[in-house]
Structure 1
Amino acid sequence: MSIDEETRNKAAAARLHDAVATRDLEIVSKTIDELVAPDVLFHAPVPMGMTGVQALKQVWTVLFRAFPDLYVTVEDVIAEGDRVVARNTVTGTHRGEYRGMPPTGRSVTYGEIFIFRFEGGRIAEVWGVVDVFSQMRQLGVVS
C-alpha cells in the first residue's frame, strides 16, 4: 500500500464525514453509494437485520430521526495500509424515537471509534465501537 493510497483512503473517509455533517439523507446515501462497496461488511452495535450499504444507510436514517441536530466531530484520523481509523465525538439532542424510546429532549455526547478497510478504493468493511452505555445513561435509560 502506497502513501498515495493511504492519502486517498483518508480523503474518502473525510468525504463520508462531510456528507454526514450535512444531515441530508439524500447526500449521505449518494456518498455511501460512491464510496462504499455494495456488499460492505458492517460490524457495529446497530441490530437491524440488514446487510451491506442498506445497513449503513439505515444507521443514518435512524440517527437523524432520533437526533436531528446530530454532529460528529472527528478527533483523530490514522491511516495505515488499507485501514483508516477515526476517533469521534458525537453530540445531539434526542428529539425522535430511538431504540423504542420516545424523545426525551436530552442532549447526548459520546465517543466512538470506526475502522474502515478499503479495497479497490472503496470501503469494504467497517468496524464500529460506540459508547452506547454512555448514550443510554445520558438518555436516562440506565443509571
Structure 2
Amino acid sequence: MTEQERNIGIVRRYLRAFVTKDLAEVRSVVDEDVRIYGSGTAVRGRRFAEQAVASPGLTVLDQEILELYAAGDRVVVSMAQTYRHDRTGRTAVQSACKMYRLSGGRIVQFWGEQDLYGLLRGLGLLPDVPVSFA
C-alpha cells in the first residue's frame, strides 16, 4: 500500500465517523494536537474534531464524497453531507471542501470550509431569505 492509499483510507475513516459518531475512531486517526483551520478560526486539539463529530442535535444521514485527491502527505476532499435536525426532523445538505495533512498514520492538520449558512437555512434555523448587503 502506498502512502497516498494509506492516507486516503485514514481520511475516509475520519469522515465516516461523522455518520457513525464513533469517537474511538476519531481518536485513532486524528492526532491529539491536531491543528484545525477554517471559517476564520484556528484551533488546536482533537477535542474540536470530536465536538464536530458528536454534534448534539444533528445527525448525519448520508455522506457523499464528490472528489478525493491525494498527493504526498495531503488529501483533499469535496463532499456533501445530509444532516437531520433531531428536534424538528428537517433535513438539509451541506457542501464542504477540506484538506488534510497526515503524519505517522494520523491527521495532524486540516483546513476547510463548509456551507454553514446554507445548512442553517435548510434546517429552518435561519430565515430563508436573501441576504442584503446594502
Q: TM-score, normalised by structure 1?
A: 0.77
Aligned to 2:92: 108
Percent identical residues: 27
Q: Compute the displacement of 1:137 (Å).
A: 2.0
Considering fraction of residues, name the structure with more helix. 1
**Is residue 73 of structure 2 the alignment partner of residue 82 of structure 1?**
yes
**Is residue 46 of structure 2 the alignment partner of residue 40 of structure 1?**
no
Secondary structure in 2 aligned to 1:74?
strand
Counterpart-to-counterpart distance in 1, 2:26 and 2:9: 14
Q: Compute the displacement of 1:7 (Å).
A: 1.1
CA distances 1:108-129 after superposition (whole Å, capped 9, x unpaired): 1120111110122211001121
Decide which of 18, 25, 29 is 2:23's aligned counterpart: 29
Change (3 A) 1:92 1:9: same
Q: Compute the displacement of 1:139 (Å).
A: 2.7
Secondary structure in 2 aligned to 1:124?
strand
CA distances 1:77-123 after superposition (whole Å, capped 9, x unpaired): 1001111011111112212xxxxxxx443211120111110122211
Moved over 4 A (4+): none
Secondary structure in 1 aligned to 2:59?
coil
Change (3 A) 1:125 1:92: same
Secondary structure in 2 aligned to 1:68?
strand
Secondary structure in 2 aligned to 1:33?
helix
Aligned to 1:128: 112
Q: Which runs of 5+ in 2 are unaligned?
A: 130-134
Aligned alpha-carbon RMSD (Å): 2.3
Secondary structure in 1 aligned to 2:2?
helix
Counterpart-to-counterpart distance in 2, 1:46 and 1:138: 22
Aligned to 1:8: 6
Whether the 8 Å CA contact 2:19–2:59 is kept in 1: the answer is: no
Change (3 A) 1:43 1:70: farther
Change (3 A) 1:106 1:86: same
